[in-house]
Structures are given as C-alpha cells and as structure tokens.
Amino acid sequence: MDIEPFFDNWCYLRTELGWLDRVLATAVARQRKDTKEIEQVARSQADRVTSHWWKGIVSLEGTISSDSPADMPRKGGSGLSYQQQMEAKIRVSQQHGVALGLPTLCQRLSLTPFEKNVVLMALAPEVSRRYSKLYNFLQESNQSAASGLPTVDLVLRLLCRNDGEWRSARLAFATDATLIQRDILRLPTSSTEPFLEHPIKLTNQIVEYLLADQPDVTTLDRWLQKNDALSVEPPLPALNLDTWKPENLKSGVDTNTVLQINPTLEESLWSKLVLPDALLALVKHLGDRIQYAQSVDQQWGFQTGDTADSLGSVVLFVGERGTGKTTAAKAIAQQLQVSLRSVDLACLNLVEHRQLLLDLIAEPPTVLLLKSAHCWLGRDAVLAALQPFLAARHRAIALTIFATERKELIKPSWQQHMSQILTFPKPNRANRLTLWQEAFPAQISLADDIDWNALARLPLRGGEIHAIARDAAICAAASHSVSIAMADLRQACRFKGIKL
C-alpha cells in the first residue's frame, strides 16, 4: 500500500487537529448527556455538586440520546490504528524532505504519545478560538473570565483511561519533567488554585515554530540548547535492581566457563519447576540458545550476517502470580551460571522508568526479567527509546523476559516484537500434588497423617503452595513440634482464608 506524504506542516496539523476534534466532540456529547440526566432530578446547587454520589442510585426514566461520534458506525479502513497510520505518513513525509514541527520536537526530546498530545492540546487555541470555547465548556469555566487554555485536569481526563494512566501521566507536569524543564510548557509559578486547575500554556517561541509553514529545525535546536543549562541536574543514582545469583556462582565467569558449567554444583531449579512438558522444553531452549550460541556459530559455521538480528531472545511470559514465571527465569540463570537481573516496572515512576532504560543500555545483563510488562508494552505506556533497546537485545546473545498476568494488557504491535509468547497455566491436580511434595526441604520431618490428595484438590498456584508450606512450618515450630503435621497445614490454610 502506497502512503502519501503530508503536503506541508499545516496539512499535518490539520490531520492531528481533526483527531482532537473527535476527542472533544465525544467529551462534549458525554458531558451534555450527564447534564441532562442530572437536571432531571436536581433541585438545588447542592444536588448538582453531589451528583457523582447519587447518580446511578437514582433511577432515571427514559433513554437519553447521545450525539457522540463514538456511537456512529465507522467505515472499513486499512486495519492499522490511527497512531500507526500517522507514524507511517510522518516517516514517508520526512523521507521526502517535508519539515513537520511537532514530530521533530517529539523526536528531539523523545516525547511519549501522551506528552505529544499535551503539546497538541495546548497548541489548538493558538490555531482557533473555537478550541478555547470547547475547553471552557468542558471545564465548566466562566466564559468571560476563563483563559481558554486547557487545564491539567482536562488534559488528564481526556487522555487517560484509568487511574494507573492518570497517576503516570500527571508526572509529565512535574518540575523535573521534560516539557517543563525544556521550557516547552509553562504552568503558573505561584497560584492559590489546586494544581489540577493550572492552565497549560506553550511558550511563544515553540508556538511560532510549530505553526510555521516550514518549521526551522535549527531554530528549534538553538532553543533547546539554550534551555539545556536550566535543566542540567546531577544524574540519578543507578536503580537498585533485584539481583538473584545462583549458589556457588564464581565472579568473572567467562564465556568458556558458561559453556562448560557443572549442573551438580547445587540442586537444579529445573527439578522444582512443575510445568507441562512442552512448555518446560520451550523454557529450557531459551537457556540453550545462550549457552551454546557461540560454539554453534563459530565451530559449526552458523555465524552469518543474516542471523545478526536474531541472536538474542525477547520473550513474553504470560500467567498469574505463582505459576512459575520467576522460577523459570532463575532456572535459566542458574543453568548459565549468571546473575538474574529483575525489576517490577509497576514499582517505578516515569523518571525511574527512563533511568532504568539508560542503566540497562549501559550495562546489559545476560538474563533480564521485567515484571508488570504492561508498564512498558501497554497501549499508552511506550518509552521513546524502547524500540532501539529491544532491537539491541535481539542482536545480543542474551535473554529478555517480559512478564504479565494477562496477554491482552500488551499492545499487539509490541507482541510482534517478541521472539516467543509462552503461557504459564495454573497447575492441574497432578501438578499440584508434585508441588506440595516438593514444597518442603529434604531435612524437614513430615508426619504420617498428611493427606496429600486433600492438599492437591485445593485450586492453588505454586507460589501459594510454597507460602502455605512455610507457614505450616512456622506453626509447627511455634508448638515445639519436631515435624509438620496435617493440623499445622490446616492452620496455615485458615490463616490464608482457605478451607481444607
């Protein structure tokens, strides 16, 4: 399919503003509908202010019609999302030498899609007063006194779909955020109003650059360099990632040592990993791809330029907590006798996400586990430097594991970047019996009254089974018993709210 480039910068802006028009039209229709519903029963200003409490409890007769464009049927298209179509047209336009102001700004500052849309919303009132009136209506502002600029609250309401996105996106307006530090956006420096009511204003120089017929990249670079001195801060300390090391791991292990490891150095984690045979074979192959890569390429002659982009593995582990994803990663690291570098992305803020990516690029680990993968691979949570990072991981003899509980949390376009997507199922009854029998260390004494079949009937995951086994040991120790009995397991289950 041939993609036509944008004719000029204004042609591009009209397309982006057309997208904003649809977003605003939907928001206006929704607000009108809510207002009609409230006015049907509201009898005072207090009723209107507290409508978010009683609305939904009070039954409203009839159906309120909506003129939202989201309810209108859509014509068939190319199958690509709006964002994908825009990215393709932008690439083609730049290849044809068409200067596009906002895309160039995004590329220079590695802006996220959310930050790009913030700039677009702030730019719209500089193009037409119609946007100012729409913003005032959606913000329920006094038309004569309102600024006509979008507030932080309005931007977050329109561009965020849930609380998680709202919390992450709010950091884009912090004092150390890119748009503020580089003097692209300006917020009031002193105000008695809540932060959410602060209006968002683009600096005049950026407005002139974005609205130019032929945006001058040199002018933009001078502006950004001018503000570099204002944004220079001491570098953030390296993030303390969770590092797991196999027992007897020797420092300074070279490649030859990795290829000749002795699996008898410690108890193998593969024996503790209870998975379907086909899945277990796939997981083991991920470690083999690293362990035997150099010998196969150099000694068996498979090293060619065609394989340079597929030396490493970038995989997605899908499964609920306790289904063995972390244990599988540890087993691979143990097989290779290297450290496992692991971090839960949900525990980091936006600034720390960027710092983590820089740390991983500077010191790439051999085996990397990134939990809560949706924070990087979700539909609206994409870091600008993530795609080059993934490309580098594909080219390195290394394993990158993204872990998530549900596959649908990951954007389909990012799923295409995965070498494999492996699903970790809940253990069946036979698997649970094995997990229970392996949950207790060999040195522990077990009473003869333990009903293994009753334990296996409980619909638990591996992580839950190990937690109950440990609690049962604590119960036995607290009662000064020399062995773990069925009574200890029942008590541990009661503590977890499980009936045995």
Tell me if 329 sits within 8 A of 342, measured CB to CB: yes
Tokens of 445: 């004494």
Q: Provide DSSP, 394-450.
A: HHSS-EEEEEES-GGGS-HHHHTT-SEEEE-PPP-HHHHHHHHHHSS-TTS-B-TT-
CA–CA separation, 59 vs 44, rounded Å? Answer: 18
Considering the domain architecture, whether residues 344 and 439 belong to the same structural domain is answered as no
Considering the domain architecture, whether residues 105 and 192 belong to the same structural domain is answered as yes
The domain boundary residue, chosen from 211, 231, 251: 231
Determine, yes or no, domain membership for 353.
yes
* Confidence grade of residue 87 (pLDDT, cut at 50, 70, 90): confident
Highest mean pLDDT among 42-51, 73-82, 294-303, 446-455: 446-455
Determine, yes or no, domain membership for 285.
yes
* Confidence grade of residue 190 (pLDDT, cut at 50, 70, 90): low
Listed residue (269, 340, 321) closest to 462, CA to CA: 321
pLDDT > 90? residue 169: no
**In Å, what is the CA distance from 345 to each residue of 69, 363, 373, 435?**
36, 18, 7, 28
Backbone φ and ψ for 58, nearest 5 degrees, come out as: -75, 130
Considering the domain architecture, whether residues 147 and 225 belong to the same structural domain is answered as yes
Highest mean pLDDT among 80-89, 240-249, 362-371: 362-371
Highest mean pLDDT among 6-10, 84-88, 161-165, 349-353: 6-10
Considering the domain architecture, whether residues 274 and 297 belong to the same structural domain is answered as yes
- The stretch 14-36 carries a mean pLDDT of 88
pLDDT of residue 72: 41
Looking at the structure of the chain, the number of domains it has is 3
CA–CA separation, 172 vs 156, rounded Å? Answer: 10
* pLDDT one-digit tens code per residue, 468-484: 999 999 999 999 988 99
pLDDT > 60? residue 16: yes
What type of residue is 344? D
* Confidence grade of residue 232 (pLDDT, cut at 50, 70, 90): very low
* Confidence grade of residue 308 (pLDDT, cut at 50, 70, 90): low
* Residues listed for the chain: 500
* Confidence grade of residue 141 (pLDDT, cut at 50, 70, 90): low
Handedness of CA 245, 248, 251, 253 (dihedral sign): negative
Residue where the block lists tokens 């970047």: 417
Considering the domain architecture, whether residues 338 and 362 belong to the same structural domain is answered as yes
pLDDT of residue 100: 92
- The stretch 389-414 carries a mean pLDDT of 90
Determine, yes or no, domain membership for 114.
yes
Average confidence score pLDDT of the chain: 80
- The stretch 32-36 carries a mean pLDDT of 76
| Alpha-carbon 85 to chain mean position | 22
* Confidence grade of residue 64 (pLDDT, cut at 50, 70, 90): very low
CATH number at residue 458: 1.10.8.60
Considering the domain architecture, whether residues 400 and 296 belong to the same structural domain is answered as yes
**In Å, what is the CA distance from 455 to each residue of 141, 273, 479, 491, 498?**
62, 19, 22, 13, 11
The domain boundary residue, chosen from 231, 263, 282: 231
pLDDT > 80? residue 214: yes
pLDDT of residue 249: 57
Considering the domain architecture, whether residues 218 and 291 belong to the same structural domain is answered as no
pLDDT of residue 251: 44
CA–CA separation, 354 vs 358, rounded Å? Answer: 6
pLDDT > 60? residue 286: yes
**In Å, what is the CA distance from 55 to each residue of 42, 138, 140?**
10, 19, 19
CA–CA separation, 123 vs 125, rounded Å? Answer: 6
pLDDT of residue 259: 33
* Confidence grade of residue 45 (pLDDT, cut at 50, 70, 90): low
The domain boundary residue, chosen from 371, 403, 423: 423
* pLDDT one-digit tens code per residue, 426-445: 888 888 888 888 888 888 89
Tokens of 360: 């991983």
* Confidence grade of residue 70 (pLDDT, cut at 50, 70, 90): very low
**What percentage of the chain reaches a pLDDT higher than 70?**
78
Considering the domain architecture, whether residues 201 and 288 belong to the same structural domain is answered as no
Higher pLDDT, 237 or 290: 290
Considering the domain architecture, whether residues 303 and 415 belong to the same structural domain is answered as yes
Considering the domain architecture, whether residues 172 and 255 belong to the same structural domain is answered as no
pLDDT > 60? residue 295: yes
Considering the domain architecture, whether residues 395 and 258 belong to the same structural domain is answered as yes
Tokens of 242: 């969770």
Highest mean pLDDT among 52-56, 69-73, 261-265, 456-460: 456-460
Domain around 473: 429-495
- The stretch 366-388 carries a mean pLDDT of 80
Considering the domain architecture, whether residues 202 and 118 belong to the same structural domain is answered as yes
CA–CA separation, 456 vs 450, rounded Å? Answer: 11
pTM value is 0.48
Question: What angle (nearest 5°) sits at the alpha carbon of residue 398, between those of residues 394 and 403?
Answer: 80
pLDDT > 60? residue 378: yes
* Confidence grade of residue 386 (pLDDT, cut at 50, 70, 90): confident
Tokens of 141: 């502002």
**Most distant CA atoms of the chain, gap in Å:** 84
pLDDT of residue 167: 85
